[in-house]
Structure 1
Amino acid sequence: MGNLKQYFFDNKSIPTKFSISYVLIGVLGIVFLDKLISEFFKYNSIMEQGPLTFGILFLLSTGIILFIMLNHMQKVIQRIDNSYRELKDKDKERLVPYEFALNNSIDAIYWFTLDGKFVYVNEAACQMVGRTKEEFLEEMHLEDMDPNFDRQTAKECMINIYNHKNWRLETTQIKKDGTIFPVEVSGHGFMHNGTEYVCAFARDMTQKQEYRTKITKMNQELQKSVEEKDILLKEIHHRVKNNMEIISSLLNMQERRTKDQEMIYILQQSRSRIHTMALVHEFLYLGENLAFINLPNYIKRLLDDIKDLYCSQNTSLEVDLKIERLIFSTNRCIQIGMILHELCVNSLKYAFKENRDNKLLLHIKTKDDLIELKLRDNGEGISSIDDLDCADSIGTQLIFSIVQDQLDGEIEFRNNDGLECNIKFPKKEEDE
């Protein structure tokens, strides 16, 4: 009704219409009354019946004029009221989708004044805490629903939300029956009809926290399982290494029982090859990663062991070692280790001599998608270098077999102030 009054009094055309209608009706009334009086006194005495007749005619004429004016006003007001009702019905129809969206939202939606009083809640908010809209809107404030706030901190929270965009908070709310549950709240400030409000959205986090707890528990169980498997794998690598050492010890015992120098050398090479593979399992057992090995550390240790096994005290050896920091799998480390073992043993056997400066160069680097390995000694080289791929020695056959068949790489031997071996193979392993 207030809007109707505002429309009626603020509409500038209505006073004009009433004024014009009043003037027209008044003029018509005066003309009609003048004719009526003139006709009446034409047949009657003015002195005897004049005042009473004039009064009656005036009363009748003004009554007719007033009736016409009020009837016109009633019709105008009726039209205004009908227009207002139509406008109100259209507004209701326009707001239906918004009201539906608000009331069917899974999130609780609240409107607060800046002192924390509820002025609007949707159906989800009512269902979340088990209260009716009337209970919310009568006297409830934020602290009546959230036990983490009091009267003062609730006001401070409202001002904080109003002054900050994308405000968020994880807190708790209390149901009507006293149950406390976790919620995630976001809020925004806005102004409507000159009044400052805060709109907040709350989502029940009970189910999410239950999932989070389950996931945390699963992760803990998985972590425990992984740790147990790591321990088991370490134990396996340790046992494999020990078993290889046992085999090496058996070969050593056999070596001491024979006097055939060729057989002794064959047994030494077999022990050395076994040690090369056992060393990989030792690194896996002692390292933090059970799937990959730091290549530089492994090669340094391997060269030291080969030198101790094959070099005499009178044989000096200077090693130029440059290896990029590469992480290789167990299989690839064994493959590289076996290649380097055979190449280094051949250099120690044929190229290096006592009482001279022996030098060994070993460089490993990456270039594009390839790994390049270069090993060179300062011996006399080999005259029949083109026939190395056809050699009958187990070591040479092992080198070509690993490079070409297992690493899918290329190998080249050449004389360069000694024997130089260049190997290239893909950086990416086939089983990756």
Structure 2
Amino acid sequence: MNLKNEIKNNILDKNRLAKSFSLTYIIIGLLGVVFLDKLISIFFEHNDLTHQGPLTFAILFIISTGSILYLMINHMQKVIQNIDKAYKELQNKDKERLIPYEFALDNSVDAIYWFTLDAKFVYVNDAACNMLGYKKEELLGKPLEIMDPNFTRETAAQTMQKISSSKNWSLETTQKKKDGTIVNIEVTGHGFRHAGKDYICAFGRDITPRLEYRNKITNMNQELQKSVDEKEILLKEIHHRVKNNMEIISSLLTMQYRRVQDNEVKDILKQSRSRINTMALVHEFLYLGENLAYINLEDYIERLIDDIKELYISNNTYLKVDLSIDQLVFSTNRCIQVGMVLHELCVNALKYAFKENRDNLLYIHIKKLEKDIHIKIGDNGKGLENIDSLYKTDSIGMQLIHSIVEDQLNGTINFRNNEGLECNIIFPQRED
């Protein structure tokens, strides 16, 4: 409730003023009539009506009406004084009530502006004046463009309409100080209605320090990204060189393989070359891939099986490969470990289980089992009569398999006959 309404309710409520004047007039009038009647009666008892009556009556009328007017005006003055006193008291109360709000507004960190819908200032707080370098009287009644050159008369009014119809409106803009310097401002605005008129209340905050910090972080991120890109290029180059060096070693073994006549030595050189290719393949994937730390297992195994088939399978041997691999991503180290184990098991199957002119099957299933990974690899060959021999063999390949599974993968390995030889390997999904 504003001051005007309070005065109306406290002073003029229920026509008290009109009743007060009317009642006073009636009382004074009645007393005046009675008093005048007494005077006239007394006068005519002692004087002649024809000689002095009209003059005396006129004098008495003037005196009585003057007295009545005096009393009424005096009463009106007292009423007006009471109204003025009440108005001042209410005004003081209103000021006291507004002191906390004015203090909060003027001491706000944010600049606060009130605008009419045609984008003219009707209120600014001290923070706004301090931020822009203006005095309040220099802004009140002025258009928005005086401090924000990004707006024109037309766009400013359009923006006010947009704010009034929006729940949450915000904008990053620039504002011009009185001295011409530009500051970066984040503005939020809300529409409200007061005394039957629509206004816009806007809050402005200087975000220059925030933008400087943001730019600083952006520059740091760019520098870090540049450093990361350089390191990725370097790592790719390292993987490329490692792969090339392994290919050179493989080529040397191939040259030696062609010169050797002993079949046992040839087999050793062939397996060594195949093992080197298994490791080189990991570095090739890292060099060609987007991620320098992890490899998609399914893609790697598909390529590994193709390379092994090319090395060990003759043109007369038909081989069907059944791959069922969950979506897994392994680190470089684990990929080499799993790749070496699969290489040895696949080579054994290709060498001993598969025959020409028959349907050969090799299956590799790799599944996630809660916290573990289960690898099942088998063939449709004849199997083995003595499974235990696989745990006690002096074969380099089998020793390599047991060493990797048990010592490096911290897993278990189990062989069994299942329409051929089947190997089951279980190891933790989490890498140490």
User: TM class, shorter-chain normalised?
Assistant: 0.7 to 0.9
Larger deviation, residues 323-332 vs 307-316:
307-316
CA distance in 2, matches of 1:35, 1:4: 46
CA shift digits 1:126-174 (9 cap, x unpaired):
2232222111125x21233332333333333333433444344443332
CA distance in 2, matches of 1:158, 1:318: 73
Query: 1:26 is aligned with what amino acid?
Result: G
Show the counterpart of 1:87.
90
Show the counterpart of 2:424.
422
Structure 1 residue 292: Cα displacement: 1.0
Q: Contact 1:240–1:281 at 8 Å: present in 2 too? A: yes
Show the counterpart of 2:116.
113
Query: 1:159 is aligned with what amino acid?
Result: Q
The 5 A counterparts of 1:301-340 are: 301-340=303-342
Q: Contact 2:6–2:90 at 8 Å: present in 1 too? A: no
Q: Contact 1:4–1:81 at 8 Å: present in 2 too? A: no
Aligned mate of 1:351, from 333, 344, 353: 353
Show the counterpart of 1:69.
72
Q: Contact 1:103–1:123 at 8 Å: present in 2 too? A: yes
**TM-score normalized with structure 2 length:** 0.86
The 5 A counterparts of 1:291-306 are: 291-306=293-308
SS state at 2:151 partner: coil
CA distance in 2, matches of 1:198, 1:285: 60
**TM-score normalized with structure 1 length:** 0.86
CA distance in 2, matches of 1:77, 1:425: 99
Change (3 A) 1:81 1:390: farther
Show the counterpart of 2:198.
196
SS state at 1:385 partner: coil
Show the counterpart of 2:235.
233
Query: 1:286 is aligned with what amino acid?
Result: L
SS state at 2:34 partner: helix
SS state at 1:12 partner: helix
Q: Contact 1:372–1:423 at 8 Å: present in 2 too? A: yes
Query: 1:399 is aligned with what amino acid?
Result: I
Q: Contact 2:337–2:404 at 8 Å: present in 1 too? A: yes
Structure 1 residue 45: Cα displacement: 3.5
CA distance in 2, matches of 1:149, 1:287: 51
SS state at 1:126 partner: helix
CA shift digits 1:372-423 (9 cap, x unpaired):
3221112211112145334333322332333334334343221111101122
Change (3 A) 1:154 1:313: closer
CA shift digits 1:44-78 (9 cap, x unpaired):
43557666665555555444444433333333333
SS state at 2:209 partner: helix
CA distance in 2, matches of 1:9, 1:308: 109
Structure 1 residue 115: Cα displacement: 2.7
Show the counterpart of 2:17.
14
SS state at 1:298 partner: helix
Q: How many residues align?
A: 428
CA shift digits 1:250-278 (9 cap, x unpaired):
55566567665444433433332222122
Aligned mate of 1:389, from 361, 367, 391: 391
Q: Does 1:28 align with 2:31?
A: yes
SS state at 2:84 partner: helix
Q: Contact 2:250–2:276 at 8 Å: present in 1 too? A: yes
Name the % identity.
Answer: 67
CA shift digits 1:209-236 (9 cap, x unpaired):
3233222222221111111010111122
CA shift digits 1:79-115 (9 cap, x unpaired):
3322222222222222222222322233332222233
Aligned mate of 1:122, from 120, 125, 130: 125
The 5 A counterparts of 1:277-296 are: 277-296=279-298
Q: Contact 2:381–2:421 at 8 Å: present in 1 too? A: yes
Show the counterpart of 1:101.
104
Show the counterpart of 2:186.
184
SS state at 2:355 partner: coil
Q: Does 1:135 align with 2:141?
A: no
Query: 1:350 is aligned with what amino acid?
Result: Y
Q: Contact 1:188–1:198 at 8 Å: present in 2 too? A: yes
CA RMSD of aligned residues (A): 3.1
Q: Contact 2:321–2:363 at 8 Å: present in 1 too? A: yes
Change (3 A) 1:17 1:223: same
CA distance in 2, matches of 1:406, 1:80: 98
Query: 2:17 is aligned with what amino acid?
Result: I
CA distance in 2, matches of 1:151, 1:254: 88
Q: Contact 1:407–1:425 at 8 Å: present in 2 too? A: yes
Change (3 A) 1:116 1:356: closer
Larger deviation, residues 411-420 vs 110-119:
110-119
Query: 2:136 is aligned with what amino acid?
Result: K
SS state at 1:375 partner: strand
Structure 1 residue 123: Cα displacement: 2.0
Aligned mate of 2:408, from 382, 406, 409: 406
SS state at 1:400 partner: helix
Larger deviation, residues 245-254 vs 278-287:
245-254
Q: Contact 1:317–1:359 at 8 Å: present in 2 too? A: yes
Q: Does 1:162 align with 2:201?
A: no
CA distance in 2, matches of 1:16, 1:81: 19
CA distance in 2, matches of 1:54, 1:212: 97
Q: Contact 1:4–1:80 at 8 Å: present in 2 too? A: no
